[in-house]
Amino acid sequence: MGDFIAHERLRESEEHHRLFFEQSRDAMMTLAPPSWRFTSGNPAACAMYGARDQAEFTQLGPWDVSPERQPDGQLSAEKSQQAIAIALRDGSHSFEWMHRRLDGHEFPTIVLLTRMTIAGQTLLQAIVRNVSAQYAAEHALRAERDLFSSGPVCIMVWGAAAHWPIQQVSSNVEAILGYSAAEMMHPDFRFGELLHPDDAPRISAEVVAHIARHEDSFEQSYRLKRKDGVYRWFYDFSRLTRNSDGEVELIRGYLFDQSHLKETELALEHERQRLDDILTGTRAGTWDWNIQTGAVVFNERWAEIIGYRLAELEPLSIKTWYALAHPEDLELSHQLLQRHFSGELEYYECDLRVRHKAGHWVWVQDRGCVATRTPDGQPLLMRGTHQNINARKLAEERLKLAASVFTHAREGIVMMTADGTIIDINDAFTQITGYSREEALGRDPQLWRSDHHPEDFYTTLWRRLIDQGCWSGELWNRRKNGEAYAALLTISAVYDDQGQVLHYVALFTDITQLKEHQHRLEHLAHYDALTTLPNRTLLAHQLQQAMVQAHRTGRQVAVVYLDLDGFKAINDRHGHQAGDQLLIVQALRIRQLLRAGDTLARLGGDEFVAVLVDLPDRTTTEALLARLLQVVNDPVRVLEVEYQVTVSLGVTFYPQVEEVDADQLLRQADQAMYQAKLAGKNRYHCFDTEHDRSARGRHASLERIRHALANNEFVLYYQPKVNMRTGVVVGAEALIRWQHPEQGLLPPNVFLPVIEDHPLGVELGEWVIDTALRQIAAWHASGLNLAVSVNIGARQLQQSDFVERLRALLHAHPHVKPSRLGLEVLESSAFEDLSCISTVIAACRALGVHVDLDDFGTGYSSLTYLKRLPVNALKIDQSFVRDMLDDPEDLAIVESVLGLAAAFRRQAIAEGVETCEHGLRLLQLGCKLAQGYGIARPMPAAALPEWSASWQPDPSWMAQPPLSREDLPLIHAIVEHRAWSQAIVRTLDGQQIAAMPLDVHHCRFGEWLDSGGLAYHPSQHAVEEITHLHHQLHHLGQTLLELHAQSHTPVARAQLEVFLNLGATLTERVQALAMFRER
Query: Stretch 669-678: mean pLDDT, rounded?
Result: 90
Query: Stretch 405-432: mean pLDDT, rounded?
Result: 85
Q: CB neighbours (10 Å) of residue 818?
A: 18
Name the CATH code of domain 700-956 (choices 3.30.70.141, 2.60.120.10, 1.10.3720.10, 3.20.20.450): 3.20.20.450
Q: Which residues pair with 851 in a beta bridge?
A: 823
Give pLDDT tens digits for 244-258.
888 888 899 989 888
**Residue 148 pLDDT:** 54
Query: Stretch 902-918: mean pLDDT, rounded?
Result: 89
Res. 832 pLDDT band, cuts 50 70 90:
low
Q: Does domain 16-130 have CATH number 3.30.450.20?
A: yes
pLDDT at 695 exceeding the cut of 50: no
Please report, for the chain, how many H helices and E strands are present, in that order.
Answer: 41, 37
CA-based radius of gyration for the chain:
57
pLDDT at 515 exceeding the cut of 80: no
More confident residue, 887 or 524: 887
Res. 775 pLDDT band, cuts 50 70 90:
very high
* Spatial separation of the C-alpha atoms in residues 252 and 140, rounded to whole Å: 21
Give pLDDT tens digits for 531-585.
999 999 899 999 999 999 998 888 999 999 999 998 988 888 888 888 899 999 9
pTM: 0.41
Q: CB neighbours (10 Å) of residue 54?
A: 14
Query: Stretch 261-282: mean pLDDT, rounded?
Result: 75
- 478: which residues sit within 8 A by CB, 6+ positions away? 448, 449, 450, 484, 485
**Residue 99 pLDDT:** 92
Q: What angle, rounded to 10 degrees, do the helices at 968-988 and 888-903 form?
A: 160
pLDDT at 50 exceeding the cut of 60: yes
**Residue 1052 pLDDT:** 77
Residue whose C-alpha is closest to residue 255's, from 151, 337, 328, 162? 151
Name the CATH code of domain 283-394 (choices 2.60.40.10, 3.90.1170.50, 3.40.50.10210, 3.30.450.20): 3.30.450.20
Query: Could you tell me where in the chain the CATH 3.30.450.20 domains are found?
Result: 16-130, 137-264, 283-394, 409-516
Q: What letter represents residue 642's amino acid?
A: E
Q: What letter represents residue 53's amino acid?
A: D
φ/ψ of residue 213, rounded to 5? -85, 5
Query: Could you tell me where in the chain the CATH 1.20.120 domains are found?
Result: 966-1078
Question: Per CATH, which fold does 137-264 belong to?
Answer: Beta-Lactamase (3.30.450)
Whole-number average pLDDT of the chain? 85
Q: How does DSSP classify residue 406?
A: H
pLDDT at 1013 exceeding the cut of 80: no
The pairing of beta strand 37-41 with beta strand 27-32:
antiparallel
Work out the end-to-end distance of the chain between its first and last CA atoms, rounded to an integer number of angstroms: 118
Question: Per CATH, which fold does 966-1078 belong to?
Answer: Four Helix Bundle (Hemerythrin (Met), subunit A) (1.20.120)
Query: Stretch 31-46: mean pLDDT, rounded?
Result: 89
More confident residue, 919 or 698: 919
Res. 990 pLDDT band, cuts 50 70 90:
confident
**Residue 806 pLDDT:** 93
Q: Does domain 409-516 have CATH number 3.40.50.1010?
A: no
The pairing of beta strand 153-159 with beta strand 248-257:
antiparallel
* Spatial separation of the C-alpha atoms in residues 488 and 432, rounded to whole Å: 12
- 870: which residues sit within 8 A by CB, 6+ positions away? 838, 841, 842, 845, 851
**Least confidently predicted of 556-570, 683-697, 881-895:** 683-697
Give pLDDT tens digits for 1021-1067.
666 777 888 888 888 888 888 888 887 788 778 888 888 888 888 88
**Residue 3 pLDDT:** 58
Q: What letter represents residue 897's amino acid?
A: V
Query: Could you tell me where in the chain the CATH 3.20.20.450 domains are found?
Result: 700-956
φ/ψ of residue 753, rounded to 5? -60, -30
**Least confidently predicted of 12-21, 65-74, 493-502, 892-901:** 12-21
Question: Per CATH, which fold does 527-687 belong to?
Answer: Alpha-Beta Plaits (3.30.70)
**Residue 118 pLDDT:** 82
DSSP string, 531-574: T--B-HHHHHHHHHHHHHHHHHH--EEEEEEEEEETHHHHHHHH
* Spatial separation of the C-alpha atoms in residues 761 and 751, rounded to whole Å: 10
* Spatial separation of the C-alpha atoms in residues 456 and 464, rounded to whole Å: 12
Res. 789 pLDDT band, cuts 50 70 90:
very high
pLDDT > 70: percent of the chain = 90
Counting every residue written for the chain, the total comes to 1079
More confident residue, 763 or 283: 763
**Residue 652 pLDDT:** 94
Res. 591 pLDDT band, cuts 50 70 90:
very high
* Spatial separation of the C-alpha atoms in residues 312 and 267, rounded to whole Å: 34
pLDDT at 140 exceeding the cut of 70: no
Which of 32-36, 458-462, 505-509, 733-737 is predicted most confidently?
733-737
